Amino acid sequence: MEQQPIIIKRKKVIAAGHHGGSWKVAFADFATAMMAFFLVLWLTATASPEQIKAVEGYFRDPVGFTEGGSPSPVDLEGSASVINEASPNIEPGQIAINDNVVDKLSETLEQRRMEELFQELKQRIEENETLQEFKNQLLIDITDEGLRIQIVDRSGRPMFDSGKAELKYYSQEILFELAKTLGAVDNKLSITGHTDATPFGGRPGYTNWELSADRANTARRALVAGGVRGQQIARVVGLSDSILFDQGEPTAPVNRRISIIVLNKKTVNSIQSSASAKGAPLIDLTVPSEKEQEKAMENLESGDWMKEKAEPAPGELNW
């Protein structure tokens, strides 16, 4: 009997019938999106206006420079970080800096400029023959008011003749050389005259106060002649022996000195603000009284003011 060939039929079975499992992925994405949506609604309903502004600013500007957003809107404790919104007057791309920060930066730059000027003067002293000869009479340091240059007397080498306000020739050369550097800066200058504690007895009514003021003014004229601009001078003061350099020896030559200060802006502003105080003074002694006005009118009408007055006797004070 003829054998029949064996035929094996294999049926392909497709799981889940006519559709696959891709719908599960789509549904999972949808469920995740809905959960995120409801979380946003819940946060919006419970967050404060400041927190909402912070989150809004973050999504508009994640870097946090233009819209007031924060690169880290949620802190480590889980609460939204509150930041200050940028000023509406500031254009995009600009950074607002606190005034205190600006002041500190300005002071730092000015301090650096003072240190550069200090090094410049130090180098000029080393290179200039005139200043090199008298460098032991030059004291330079930086104070709260600015860069201070003190020219002091040494034994046998005073800046001025005893009891006089005329500069020695070498003192004038020192001031001329310093003026070349000081005239190149924009800062204001303060000039102060000092004496030692030896009382001045040259003539009646003239003391160390007048002498120190006259010497400071003489130094001012020398600096202006050497190249310092007249409008640079902010203050000329005579302090007599009220501030001694060597307090242990009040009559030491080093106490007789001229101080030149390159003023910083803070000191200049303080000088100007104190001199231009607003409001009327509590007591104004410059306004004449009614009796003084009547007496002045009588003198004017009588013509006594035209009469020549007698000259004061020698040694007599005439205020």
Looking at this protein, which amino acid is placed at residue 260? I
User: What DSSP line would sit under 96-149, residue for residue?
Assistant: ---HHHHHHHHHHHHHHHHHHHHHHHHHHHHH-HHHHHTGGGEEEEE-SSEEEE
Q: What are phi and psi of 194, to 5 degrees?
A: -130, 150
Mean pLDDT throughout 154-182?
87
Rounded mean pLDDT of the chain?
A: 78
What pLDDT does residue 79 have?
45
At 125-159, the pLDDT tens digits run 888 888 888 888 899 998 889 999 999 988 778 88
Whether the pLDDT of residue 69 is over 50: the answer is no
At 284-314, the pLDDT tens digits run 677 778 888 888 888 777 776 666 666 666 6
Whether the pLDDT of residue 86 is over 50: the answer is no
CATH fold of 105-274 reads 60s Ribosomal Protein L30; Chain: A; (3.30.1330)
Residue 114: Cβ within 10 Å count: 19
Whether the pLDDT of residue 91 is over 80: the answer is no
Residue 24's pLDDT band (cuts 50, 70, 90): confident
Ordered by start, the domain boundaries in the chain are 105-274
Edge-to-edge order in the sheet of strand 138-142? 138-142, 146-152, 257-263, 189-194, 233-238
At 251-289, the pLDDT tens digits run 888 889 999 999 988 888 888 887 665 655 566 677 778
What pLDDT does residue 115 have?
87
pTM of the model: 0.56
Whether the pLDDT of residue 18 is over 60: the answer is no
